[in-house]
Amino acid sequence: MWFRRDLRCNDNTALHQALRQCERVYVAFVFDRAILDPLPRQDRRVGFIHASVLALDRDLRALSPTPGVNLIVRHAHAEGAIADLAFQLGVDAVFANEDYEPEACARDERVRSALSSLGVAFHLHKDQVVFAPNEIRTQQGKPYSVFTPFKNAWLARLTEEDLEPRTAADHAASLAAPPPALQRPIPSLAEMGFEPPADEVQRLLPGSDGATQRLRDFLGRIDRYDALRDYPALKGPSYLSVHLRFGTISIRELVAAAQAAARTGAGTGATTWLSELVWREFYFQILGMYPHVVDHSFKPEYDRITWETGAEADAAFDAWCQGQTGYPLVDAGMRQLNQTGYLHNRLRMVTASFLVKNLGIDWRRGERYFAARLNDYDLAANNGGWQWCASTGCDAQPWFRIFNPVTQSERFDPEGRFIRRYVPEIAQLPNTSIHAPWKAKPVDLAAADVRLGIDYPAPIVAHEAARERTLARYAAVRGRQ
């Protein structure tokens, strides 16, 4: 059994199937150098994965009645490492869970062919999603490109059987200890060339225990999800995305928990949250069925947009990355991302929209920046979110709708609590001017000890003028193929 983005024993389809079908099952994980080598040495996600792998090893040892069982861990190129292990262990088959990202699919095809030349079968199972990208189709047999009908079809198809937990405990006796020649300690982060995690990562609570703790905490407040989820200063969302990303909790368990909460009176909070889980599957479907979205607009006409480029655009992009645009809510969001690796959903929308529709910069640059920084980075959701904000995607925000960063700030952070947390240099401004410090009375600026352009930037772009430029930019390509 080869673990990848499914770092748990509990309710893991490939593990369940391997244990059920095979007399002896070795368990393995590879820190894939093809993925890790290009990453910065401080990457928070590697710390999270490492801690989750240690937890998985502990959980597997506790699950097995046989002494000596442990997770075989390698730091190597996954394709070669899996084929080598399969050969050395003399196995008949390798089990894993499906991954839908194009690069992962290509890797799996190469692994399949390497294993096949050794006479070893490769079994992939659906686990990351309730319904795989090709399972929900319109009556004409096509993939959906609008969310609501997709969600309705998804809910109509859902049965109890789809959510049945795939337990490991019943067949845990099949777990086998690797032979002594293959026993090696799990490499430390330092041995793999990475720095130990910063404080924020420790607060991420790795492994299945961390995910369970997060879920328990969220279920205690799921009834308020709908009311609170748009306010970044409040504890509204579940903070489970990093766990879904690395599979320390199963999607089936979360859908079942949302349904149970809805039944027991958590009402719109639980049903809205369930919709968010369906959005996740919607974007898996889009990526799986329309892989051109990886580097092209879903709607081809928008590939013709002329984006801002050159030194001025580069400087604006840098200011956006650093949280130095002069728009406090945008800056607070980007600093949250840089400091913690998490970014509240409302602020993902506000910051992405600002980059594309205020600064006129290609959404793909922003998408790549998020990809490098988000702990929960997931190609399907990130690409879908960016194309939604840029109005280039399916079922996206209409092209002429342009978030006003000041109005968003007044609406979703009315008392400036979130801004004050991440933009301390303007924390002393009163609520009336914290959303747009350039409009503050000189007396307020003086009282708060803020010199615009020195302590905190003046806005790098004027919203109204940017809005006009964006409307023209989009109008120029509308209807052209």
Residue 388, marked binder: no
Residue 231, marked binder: no
Which of 197/385 has CB closer to ligand FAD?
385
Active-site hit among 2, 154, 363, 388: 363
CB of 166 to ligand FAD, least distance (A): 20
Residue 281, marked binder: yes
Active-site hit among 2, 154, 320, 386: 386
Q: Which residues pair with 30 in a beta bridge?
A: 74
Which residues does 337 contact at the CB level (< 8 Å), separation at least 6? 343, 351, 370, 373, 374
Positions that interact with ligand FAD (CB under 6 A): 229, 237-241, 244-245, 276-277, 279-280, 283, 345, 348-349, 352, 370, 374, 376-378, 381-382, 384-386, 389
* Active-site residue, 345 included: yes
The angle subtended at Cα 445 by Cα 440 and Cα 451, nearest 5°, is 115
Which of 27/374 has CB closer to ligand FAD?
374
DSSP 98-154: ---SHHHHHHHHHHHHHHHHTT-EEEEE--SSSS-TTT---TTSPPP-SHHHHHHHH
Which of 239/298 has CB closer to ligand FAD?
239
Pick from 33, 107, 135, 113: nearest CA to 77 = 33
CB of 137 to ligand FAD, least distance (A): 20
CB of 113 to ligand FAD, least distance (A): 30
Active-site hit among 135, 276, 301, 425: 276
* Active-site residue, 438 included: no
Pick from 302, 261, 346, 307: nearest CA to 480 = 302
* Active-site residue, 276 included: yes
Residue 225, marked binder: yes
Pick from 412, 341, 337, 328: nearest CA to 376 = 341
Which of 70/128 has CB closer to ligand FAD?
128
Question: What DSSP element (H or E) covers 235?
Answer: none
Long-range pairs for 276-280 at CB < 8 Å and ≥24 separation? 277/251, 278/147, 278/150, 278/151, 278/154, 278/155, 279/147, 279/381, 279/384, 280/129, 280/244, 280/251, 280/380, 280/381
CB of 446 to ligand FAD, least distance (A): 37
Alpha-carbon distance 248 to 455, whole Å?
Answer: 42
Strands 72-76 and 93-97: unpaired
Residue 282, marked binder: yes
CB of 356 to ligand FAD, least distance (A): 10
* Active-site residue, 388 included: no
Alpha-carbon distance 156 to 135, whole Å?
Answer: 13
Provide the sign of the torsion angle of the four alpha carbons 393, 397, 399, 405, taken in this order: negative
CB of 246 to ligand FAD, least distance (A): 11
Residue 39, marked binder: no
Active-site hit among 279, 308, 410, 431: 279
Which of 64/351 has CB closer to ligand FAD?
351
At 117, the amino acid letter reads S
Which of 171/365 has CB closer to ligand FAD?
365
CB of 406 to ligand FAD, least distance (A): 19
Residue 278, marked binder: yes
* Per-residue tokens: 307: 């984006």
CB-closest chain residue to ligand FAD: 385
Which of 229/252 has CB closer to ligand FAD?
229
Residue 27, marked binder: no
Active-site hit among 338, 345, 404, 431: 345
Which residues does 349 contact at the CB level (< 8 Å), separation at least 6? 385, 388, 389, 403
Active-site hit among 195, 307, 308, 338: 307
Binding site per annotation, positions for FAD: 225, 273, 276-283, 376-378
Would you please indicate which residues are annotated as catalytic (active-site) residues? 276, 279, 307, 345, 363, 386
Binding site per annotation, positions: 225, 273, 276-283, 376-378
